Structure 1
Amino acid sequence: MEEKRNESVEIIINRDLAKDQLKKLYDDSFKSYDLDIFSKKDEDEQTRVVNGRVVRITDKDVIIEVGLKSEGVIPLSDFSEPEKVKVGDIVPVFLEAFENEDGFADISLKKAQFINLWPKINESYEKGTNITGIIKKQVKGGMIVDLMGVDAFLPGSQIDLQPVDDMNSLIGLKTEFRVIKLNYKRRNIVVSRRLILESEKESKKFEFLNNLKVGDIVEGIVKNITDFGAFIEIEKGVDGLLYITDMSWGRLVHPSELLSLNEKVKVVITAINKEKGRINLGMKQLTPYPWENIEEKYPVGSRVKGKVVSIEDYGSFVEIEKGVEGLIHISEMSWTQHVKKPQEIMQVGDTVEAIVLSIDKKNERISLGLKQLSDNPYDSIKVGQKVKGKITKIQKFGAFVEISPGIEGLLHISNISWDNKISKIEDLYKVGDEIECVVVNIDNSKQRISLGIKQLQKDPIENYSEGDIVKGKISEIKDKSIYINLDDGVKGLIPQRLIAKQSENLTNDYVKDSEIELKVVDIDLEKRRIIFTDKVE
């Protein structure tokens, strides 16, 4: 009985001793810490980073001893590589408080890592250097990147050079990043991967451009097609512009007629601007210049066949081979038709034959003729030829007469009669009248024919010769000259120097409408006038 009582007393004494020891340990645990650390400013937070030791690991947490009466708890998920954490590891933690409401030391691994890494991250930001990280997970608007234990935000627009369709495929990727935004108080770090990729792209582009030469033949992929050309990727991240005018020697309305997106093509370097990083490409330059030896291929006078590719008011363009077009001017389409629009003869897409009229190699121009495929009907018409035709139109100055299908001649009012002065042609003819004429002149260059009726008969003036004695009637006395009319309509005059009776007033000696004997002195066939004298011996 006595022994039991003594044991109880010993237990009570030991219990009291344990309490005293625990209290002493609790008090001693604070001696290693500055109790004012929780009142320090943000810039002194480094003083609240302490080293802890891993004492136990559960399925979800890591128990860390930091020298306080209570241990701290860190979620296992806070560690970058949780599978490598083991008992005995020394881990820096941030001391939020000596004790939380659950009785544990209030510590944070994330804050400690942020504070410890801040100088390095800030230096990287200020110097613009790269920093290594691992993409952890996708969040709204982007992804979270682990920078040596510190979380940073990677916006979706900063992930790659092009929008990323499947962000989850990048989880676990270890790569370089560039810090583009920092906020210490908010523990906010924003990084970019795109800046590095752009820098690498420019660097590779610069190196590629340095090795590239005009005339180099390269292969590329069609990345974009516009109205004015196509962009060809000739190296990863290096695009060149292929203008529509450099795609084909022939006519193209739009680049899509020749190229398709993602098509692999062969091109030649035509120009390089290293300062602006621009490259011009050519495709047609890989084929022979079609205008070389053009005169030998299509000599003037040769017959060619081609496709009508364009029509303008003044004529039609015909492609006789890729890159070689000729113009059929509207005036070269028909000998006889008065063509007002080329569409009256041909349409775009028609295949036509033509004759080469001229070649201007320097300006890449060929003149073609359609009407030259047949004989010129004007060549069969000769001056002096008698023709019959129908009056198609009457003007003040004369009448147009169709003497052959599509061929008209002009009967001028002055060519109707030798002797009668006609004031109105309508007094003699009307549209539709059939008349006989003679061809008096042909202008082949302008395809104009002059006709005459009076020329069907001999000109009466041709019946006279110098020295002939004739009788005529005085028609007028004027300007010291006497004007004469002969019976056959031929006109003439007696100039003052050839008048027999010289006086101040000729009317005293000569009477109008009186008949007078005359002698032919000179004959002007062009003016159809005879010079007379009344000095008849």
Structure 2
Amino acid sequence: MSDETKPEASGVPPTDEAVPEAKDSATTSEASAQAEDGQPVVETSAKTAETDAGESSSKTAEAEEKAAELKARQARVAPLYRAFRGKRGINGRVEKTIKGGYEIRIGKARAFCPHSQIDVQRVDDPESWVGTTHLFQITQLRRGGDDVVVSRRAVLEAERREEASAVRATLIDGAVMLGRVSGLAKFGAFVDLGAGVNGLVHITELSHGRINRVDQAVHVGEPVRVKILKLHDDSDRISLSIRQASEDPWASVTETYEVGGVYAGKVLRLADFGAFIELSPGVEALAPASEFPPALAGWKDGLTPGSEQSWRVLKVDTERRRISLTPGGDGAVAPLPELAPGVELNGKVQRIEPFGVFVWLGPGRVGLMPNILTGTPPGTDLERHFPIATEVDVEVVGIDDRGRIRLAKKGAARQTGRNGESDSARRERPRRRAPRAERPPQTPISDSTEGFGSLLADKLKDALG
């Protein structure tokens, strides 16, 4: 038997033409069998007709139902196919959160949106999106519309690309504009200029002052004013500067900070030679260790980075961008007397060196009292005789061209000479012999001049004669 006569074996459902022939054959056989038994043939045929009519009606209803379902399904997925093929966005409503993402209702169809595709940024509260309606892009459509995956992030990124192109077209070198810090790195800060167009501010361009970390100057989300240094067209990079977009604070330092004035400042860091103080953003000054009043615990006692206190300005050098400070104290400081030889002062021992004692006389004034002017005999232990931070009465001996102050303990200068040498030292100093005066040249005696020598010569001649 050929394949055409065996439709079930080939896996193809039987056609509509084969069904009536099979039914007629079965009816004829049944009628013959009943005739042989003597039963009426007409009644059997009527029952068969009723059965065939019922089956036909049932199949017709089932076919109509399937056709209606197919039509409804086509109407449901048709908008999805049009949006998918045209790569257009389509509105959808977030119904609920499910494993891995969200269930989205688009018309009468259901779709799935992963967590990472609901926004361009990380979502901390997924439930906050439930019940909201957004524009989505269909990224996957399979199984006749039963498998639909959508993305809102793709829509946002496409919009940003268009906006970014428009924003970048308006940028020019040297322009100053507003931006917002979008990220931090060890080497600088990223600033969003709008529509996701980001530029980089190198750490050296963040501030007029010195900073060690980027977060010391800016933080994420902070609005900043930047200057466009360069547009790198080959790589779409943008170099920015916050420092050059702001006024140089050193331009008005001389008007803002007067010598002798007291101003508030914050301790930035401590070094062996002094403390770095921030008077204002971008204006950094140094308080040398020598300008602090002597203390047993050291000059760093009470100073911690980040603490604020009053500082007195000693010197301002705008060309070198340097300001010297000294602790300002709680109240007004009495004016210091003029320094001149013979002026007596009261100071505090600051430190001891092998060659003498440094005495702190006041803000900006430190003098040296040499060993020989301490009023102590040679070999005295100066550290025991002059403890740190103790008061001592001194007398100004002199001031050199470099402003260095030479001191003597009060009363010790009278026991020494003008050169600082004590009387006992002068007594013990070996005496030097004065150089002999040269003898005047002798006047030669002529032969005609008579003298003792000539008489003696004459006598010798006569005796030998």
TM norm structure 2: 0.52
Residues 176, 228 of structure 2: 8 Å contact kept: no
**AA aligned opposite 1:349:** E
CA contact (8 A) 1:133 1:146 kept: no
Between Structure 1 and Structure 2, the one with more strand by share is 1
Name the counterpart of 2:101.
142
CA drift of 1:351 comes to 1.6
SS in 2 for 1:213: coil
Q: Could you tell me how far apart the structure 2 residues matched to 1:489 and 1:193 are?
A: 100
Aligned to 1:425: 378
Alignment of 1:491 with 2:414, yes or no, is no
1:447 — aligned with what? 405
CA gap of 1:339–1:380, structure 2 versus 1, over 3 A, is: farther
* Alpha-carbon distance between aligned partners in 1 of 2:246 and 2:41, rounded to the nearest angstrom: 113
Paired position in structure 2 for 1:380: 340
Does 2:113 align with 1:154? yes
The offset of 1:369, in angstroms, is: 6.4
Partners of 2:139 and 2:151 within 8 A in 1 = yes
CA shift in 2, pair 1:19/1:351, >3 Å = closer
Q: 1:72 to 1:270 in 2, by over 3 A?
A: closer
Looking at structure 2, the residues matched to 425 and 233 of structure 1 have their Cα atoms a distance apart, in angstroms, of 73
Q: Judging changes above 3 Å, is the alpha-carbon distance between structure 1 residues 376 and 209 closer, same or farther for their aligned structure 2 residues? A: farther
AA of the residue aligned to 1:530: A
CA contact (8 A) 1:326 1:365 kept: yes
Q: Partner letter of residue 168 of structure 1?
A: V
For 1:73 and 1:226, the matched residues in 2 are separated by 62
> Aligned equivalents of 1:438 and 1:17: distance in 2?
143
- 1:302-341 counterparts in 2 under 5 A? 302-310=259-267, 311-313=269-271, 314-333=273-292, 341=298
| Contact 1:240/1:280 (8 A) holds in 2 | yes
Structure 1: where are the runs of 5+ without partners? Answer: 1-7, 30-54, 57-62, 66-70, 83-109, 417-423, 460-486, 493-528
Matched, 1:354 2:313: yes
**1:276-326 deviations in Å (ceiling 9; x for gaps):** 555566666565322226557668xx4333223225232234455543333
Aligned to 1:177, the other structure's residue is in SS state strand
Question: Shift of residue 176 of structure 1?
Answer: 2.6
Sort the Cα spacing of 1:15 and 1:169 in 2 relative to 1 into closer, same or farther, 3 A.
Answer: same
Structure 2 match to 1:268 = 226
Match of 1:530 among 434, 437, 455: 434
Is the CA contact (8 Å cut-off) linking 1:357 and 1:368 kept in structure 2?
Answer: no
1:176 aligns with 137
Q: Secondary structure at the match of 1:381?
A: coil
Amino acid at match of 2:322: R
Secondary structure of the residue aligned to 2:130 is helix
Q: Distance in 2 between matches of 1:376 and 1:339?
A: 26
1:130 to 78, 81, 87: 87
Task: Kindly indicate whether the alpha-carbon contact (under 8 Å) linking 2:344 and 2:396 is maintained by their aligned counterparts in 1.
Answer: yes
Q: Are 2:157 and 1:198 aligned? A: yes
8 Å CA contact retained: 2:137, 2:150: no
Matching residue within 363, 366, 369 for 1:409 = 369
- 2:136 touches 2:155 (CA, 8 Å); kept in 1? no
**Aligned equivalents of 1:531, 1:74: Cα separation in 2:** 142
SS of the residue 1:530 aligns to: coil
Query: Which of 162, 171, 175 pairs up with 1:212?
Result: 171
Measure, in 2, the Cα distance between the counterparts of 1:219 and 1:295. 30
Look up the match of 1:466. none
Q: Which residue of the partner structure matches residue 68 of structure 1? A: none
Cα separation, 1, equivalents of 2:227 and 2:351: 64
Q: Measure the CA separation in 2 of the matches of 1:167 and 1:357.
A: 59
SS of residue in 1 equivalent to 2:225 = strand
Paired residue type of 1:169: G
Q: Letter of the aligned partner of 1:306 in structure 2?
A: Y
Q: What CA distance in whole angstroms lies between the structure 2 residues aligned with 1:140 and 1:456?
A: 96
Contact 1:401 1:411 (C-alpha < 8 Å) held by counterparts: no
Distance change >3 Å, CA 238–CA 350, structure 1 → 2: same
Gaps of 5+ in 2: 1-39, 387-393, 422-426, 443-465
Report the alpha carbon displacement of residue 231 of structure 1 after superposing the two structures with TM.
6.0
Quote the Cα distance in structure 1 between the aligned partners of 2:352 and 2:279: 44
- CA–CA distance in structure 2, aligned partners of residues 217 and 438 of structure 1: 60
For these two proteins, the number of residue pairs brought into alignment is 365
Matches for 1:244-263 after TM superposition, within 5 Å: none
Q: In structure 2, give the amino acid aligned to 1:380.
A: A
2:73 to 64, 72, 79: 79
1:107-156 superposed Cα distances (whole Å, 9 cap, x missing partner): xxx9xx9xx979x97xx6xxxx7365564754432345689998654323
Contact 2:352-2:383 at 8 Å conserved across structures: yes
Query: Which whole-Å deviations, capped at 9, do the CAs of 1:333-387 have from their partners, x for residues lacking one?
Result: 56xx5999544697842222223253325xx33345679995477x3225xx999
| TM-aligned CA distance change 1:329 to 1:454, over 3 Å | closer
Matched, 1:288 2:247: yes
What secondary structure sits across from 1:360 in the alignment? coil
CA–CA separation in structure 2 for the residues paired with 1:187 and 1:205? 36
CA distance in 2: counterparts of 1:260 and 1:145, whole angstroms: 36
Q: Please state how far the C-alpha of 1:64 moved relative to its aligned partner.
A: 4.0
Q: What is the one-letter code of the residue matched to 1:455?
A: G
Kept in 1: contact 2:179–2:226 (CA 8 A): no
Q: Which amino acid aligns with 1:292?
A: A
* Residue identity matched to 2:159: E
In structure 2, relative to structure 1, the CA distance for the partners of 1:20 and 1:223 (3 Å cut) is closer
Residues 259 and 317 of structure 1: is their aligned pair in 2 closer, same or farther, counting only changes over 3 Å? closer
Asked whether the equivalents of residues 305 and 320 of structure 1 are also in contact (C-alpha less than 8 Å), the reply is no
Amino-acid identity (%): 20
1:177/1:410 Cα in 2 relative to 1: closer, same or farther (>3 Å)?
same
